[in-house]
Structure 1
């Protein structure tokens, strides 16, 4: 009869990494497209093609997920379900999600370049990270066909990363950890705790947690706030504080380790994480 293994045989913890090795970024609302308008506005248009009235607030409700999953979520919002039923007298089927996705994708490909402006401070933070010897990965809710249109515009502005993993390149995208872990594999990272996931959405932060990484939520530059750079600059101090508090509350649902306004504020956070790793902490 085989012996049972010792109860302490497999309980030894792997050593905590001593240094940060990689930063893993989202794209829209994180590195480009302040306010994350490209996905939301085009979702509204795609739904309108099918006679469904979707507003921007509803469109933002599942931002961060892969776009097919995002559309599935939106179709099952009660107001959208009611509209659909009134039109078709039946429940929503997978073919309906496929149809709206098929309408959405060419619109997104055609328009993504119009929302490709780098977020202020993004290039500077990337250059700082390079100077620290960090690897720069990324993952996105966009499929590869959309990223192929976006990347040349991003790179022309100095946003050059080591890796991009797209939502249609893994079996399950956010909030599951597959895209983040693909970065760990392809960038040859020694430990998930040596990675920092930077994102402007709840599913993106949840993805980082699920992958065992440090997480940084972006309060003002992305989906949680949903305002353009110009709109943010026009706010009075008390208005800005209110907007920041509301957006922070949205992201705190995912319990990020850090909250900052935008990627421009990233270097001090990475230095703090480095200190915590040196002291033996893990995410």
Structure 2
């Protein structure tokens, strides 16, 4: 007997699952990057901001491991210690990184302009708000009350070490949001992120994906620095970020969360036509 499942979800969106730094808070994604510079510096190995941004979106242990594997950083580590960076060294840098990140995450985590209005517009449509992060639970436990005090309280938050399966670029954190929020179909979800691993996470979970160029890791400027640029200067900084997120497979790429409501309307229209992510 042959059986073919043909039902297509054609309802409205039910959930938007947001990343944190560079997406809803921390325009330019400085909290993780600046602390990584300081953590490596504590071991006598300097890295720069551009290097720290390359593996952004991964769980922080994996992020440190990826930095240690970059040829130029590996060479500096070898010059300092006479050997490559071992997993034990990664553990040591991670252990130095964590208390710094917990202590300073609030310093960098102001809400991105337009975030509260965009989220309010989603809630007015009955859309649930999920979230997940490359931050571990101990950092999220420090960040959540700060975000609440600033007006942001997602319905679900999954940290990168909450699940045995792991974090990005796998689909597990996004899918855990689906479970906890009680969403009936992954096609009714949108994953919003400023990094390539975050877009990969949403695609692996079968969701619509929206990449954020200007507010995130790829442009890497503060809001004040971004706003001070002329339109041609903004276009020049935006273009490579858009290209990278587009190449990662994002269904849409926009500047920031402030531009999201129009995209949500377009996705709803595409779902009504029977389209899937």
**1:17 and 1:191 in contact (8 A); partners too:** no
Aligned to 1:18: 11
Q: For structure 1, which runs of at least 5 residues remain unmatched after alignment?
A: 1-5
Runs of 4+ in 1 over 4 A off after TM superposition: none
| 1:259 alignment partner, SS class | strand
* Counterparts of residues 1-283 of structure 1 (less than 5 Å): 6=1, 8-9=2-3, 11-170=4-163, 171-283=165-277
Inter-partner Cα distance in structure 2 for 1:33 and 1:88: 34
| 1:196 alignment partner, SS class | strand
Which is higher, the Rg of structure 1 or of structure 2?
1
Q: TM-score, normalised by structure 1?
A: 0.95
Inter-partner Cα distance in structure 1 for 2:151 and 2:7: 37
Inter-partner Cα distance in structure 2 for 1:273 and 1:265: 13
Inter-partner Cα distance in structure 2 for 1:135 and 1:16: 17
Q: TM-score, normalised by structure 2?
A: 0.97
| 1:23 alignment partner, SS class | strand
Inter-partner Cα distance in structure 2 for 1:79 and 1:182: 37
**CA displacement, residues 166-209 of structure 1 (integer Å, 9 cap, x when unaligned):** 00112220000010000011111101110000000010001000
Inter-partner Cα distance in structure 1 for 2:128 and 2:11: 15
